[in-house]
Structure 1
Amino acid sequence: MAEVLLSELSNADINWMIAAGRQEQINAGTVLVQLCRDPEVIYLLLDGALTIVIPNAKSTSTDHVVTVAESDCQDREITRLSRGEIVGETSLFDLCFMPAIVKADVNSLVLAIPRQRLIDKLEQDINFSTHFYRAIALMLSERLRQIFEMPGQVQAITEQPMKEALFVFGELRDSDADWLVAVGEIKSLSPNEVLLQAGRPVEALYFILDGLLLISSPEGDYNPLTLCFKSQGKAPREKPIANLTRGEISGASSFVDFRPPAVTVRAVNHSLVLSIPRQVLAVKLQQDMSFASRFYRVLALQLSNSLQTVMSRLGCNKSNYSQHQEMDEDVEYEDELDLDSLQQVSQGAARFNWMLKRLGVT
């Protein structure tokens, strides 16, 4: 990932990160990101190796909450992170806490940047935010791919809440939605029709307007050539991973990762999608830096949410509020929304509904 970071950032970006951060030597076994806790610092791995670990945790009761006891966890390594990786990035988005631990596998060197200072920079500098969010999206896409390509790693998961889909449109602007309507084409999908095929190129970005789609990964060893050139009518055995519903996006990661997808997306029932041709979107991203900044943030947000969903199914139990008990201010509950999140969801719903009306979809 060192090459990814160095190719995406400019000299000005690198100079700011050097000035804003501090280098720290980290001993092997040191935990950089705690289980289900937002870090106050974002880390860039300069040398060494980190691991993302999912605890197979038992729930323990306290006075106010059912939570995870780290002392009862058996570490399960999900993926290893190499030089150039950034960790703690999930705290940049209005999502649930990362359901995993990130720790040093060997003695390592990191650049620690205060989270709030980085957030301020991302909000104030469009060029920096475009480069940074694109780099984050590349890293998250690779982490997801590594998990999907490991046989037997991912368990089937349930439909994601509509709340997360509306976060996407809360990040966009009215002008963005207007442009999508102008250049997009509505495509109707029959039940079981494939939208994206594992191993095949992705030729468009798709917004789910109506219906339900299923993401699945091929069982066994991942071989894109055999998937791409499989005999017609001979469908490979697949494991369901997640569902896509109204407002969600499919095919976005192909705009940072040009390799064929490791998953298949097919319609569960009659569905409608808005198709944005790849070349049209690529030109827009090159010519409109403000749009590019928002697009790559949306992409990083959705990839981060997908990664958290997958990891939570691999072992981490989130905290649940128990009725008739006082809420703990230091705990984020699974079904909790703060006022900022509610406002963003409301804005996203209004923008998405406006787009549906423009497209004639009810």
Structure 2
Amino acid sequence: MPPVLTQLNNLKVLEPPDIEWMAQTGTHQELSAGTVLIQEGQPSDSIYFILEGTVTVLISQQNSDSNQEIARCSQGEVIGEMSFIDKRLPSATVKTVEPSLILALSKRQLQLKMERDPDFGARLYQELTAILSSRLRSLSKLLAQNKIVPGQALRKVLFLFAILNDNDIDWMVTRGRKENAPTGTVLIQQDQPVEALYFLLQGNLAVIFSMMVDGQPVDKELARRASGEIVGEMSFVEAGNASASIKCAENSLVLAIPQQLLREKIQRDRGFAIRFYRAISLVLIDRLREGLIQRGFGQKSYSQDQQLADDIEYEDEIPLDVLEATLLAGTRFKWMMNRLQGN
């Protein structure tokens, strides 16, 4: 059997000692075709790394008893990471399509390792965040090609400020740049490097995806971002070019955190790194779930005017630990606004 280090060589952030620990701590499972690893809506106590073979990812469809395959994952890929990060029930079923070798890592063991070794925790969250960002890019492109426009998004700053502490936010206010951006200003250009992470303090931003249709370039507005939103996070975690353009739909005020400053802060302060990457991963998971719901997947999504059932966990619920901190997050955002405006 090839060494795990070779089988997981597509992991870009975790270091060889990290992967060696995972190989020694985890359980190697040889599974036959058709074995269910994760069941949608049922608790899962592990995160899985595919060493050999292929699995299919299936998700329920609204108003239907059938499941739809949304992806296939093969050697080197990770599954079960979303429920590990946001501590919710799995939103998809995962089963093998051929004999496969899987490395299963207990979520509890991972959590204990992260608490004992903050550097490992920061690297793991950074790795998982990059994986989520890549998956969101694929879904966003699919939504654009199918002319599906996402609905109004939750203010993502609540996820971020619910997890970051006061010192983290003070650092961002102190080191960031306050920028007045007139209508039409392009903050981020598709397929170009992104210089900063942006917090939208006031105004409205348009997310625009450019693609070729019948040989002609077409711009498609995917979404609007209102006060309290974050943009540029995907390019930051992937260290790649922008997947869409961000343009000011009206006069806007933003706080820009230069990428280089942010990377230096993450390297110096591993506690901040863990908090930052977990917060960004929650933002990405929320957008992934929202995109799947827009495509008609997930039977347990909440609709406006629908009466909530006490015994159902809805796909678009906010994680409980984050929900409990959103009041504090809102206070932190207002404090940041007042400080930047000199009040």
TM-score by length of 2: 0.85
Q: How does 1:311-322 map to 2 (within 5 A)?
A: 311-316=292-297, 317-320=299-302
Could you tell me which of 43, 53, 56 is aligned with 1:51? 56
Q: Pairwise CA RMSD of aligned residues?
A: 3.0
Could you tell me which of 177, 184, 205 is aligned with 2:197? 205
| CA distances 1:129-182 after superposition (whole Å, capped 9, x unpaired) | 1110111012112212233344624621111123x5302111111111111111
Unaligned runs of 5+ in 2: 1-6
Partner of 1:39: 44
Quick check: 1:79–1:146 contact (8 Å CA) kept in 2? no
Higher relative contact order (CA 8 A, sep 6+): 1
Unaligned runs of 5+ in 1: 59-68, 227-234
Partner of 1:20: 25
Q: CA deviation at 1:238?
A: 2.8
Partner of 2:234: 253
CA shift in 2, pair 1:334/1:43, >3 Å: closer
Partner of 2:4: none
Quick check: 2:149–2:222 contact (8 Å CA) kept in 1? yes
In 1: Cα distance, 2:150 partner to 2:42 partner: 23
User: Comparing 352-361 with 148-157, which one deviates more in the overlay?
Assistant: 148-157
In 2: Cα distance, 1:96 partner to 1:22 partner: 23
In 2: Cα distance, 1:53 partner to 1:154 partner: 22
Q: CA deviation at 1:357?
A: 1.4
Partner of 1:3: 9
Which SS does the other structure have where 1:273 is aligned? strand
In 2: Cα distance, 1:160 partner to 1:324 partner: 21
CA shift in 2, pair 1:302/1:24, >3 Å: same
**Residue identity opposite 2:230 in structure 1:** I
Partner of 1:152: 145
Quick check: 2:208–2:220 contact (8 Å CA) kept in 1? yes
| CA distances 1:22-58 after superposition (whole Å, capped 9, x unpaired) | 1112333333333344522211111222333343331
Quick check: 1:54–1:78 contact (8 Å CA) kept in 2? yes
**Residue identity opposite 2:85 in structure 1:** F
**Aligned pair 1:305/2:280, yes or no?**
no
Percent sequence identity is 36
Q: CA deviation at 1:16?
A: 3.2
User: Comparing 44-53 with 273-282, which one deviates more in the overlay?
Assistant: 44-53
CA shift in 2, pair 1:325/1:241, >3 Å: closer
Partner of 1:121: 113
In 2: Cα distance, 1:161 partner to 1:147 partner: 18
Partner of 1:327: 310
TM-score by length of 1: 0.81
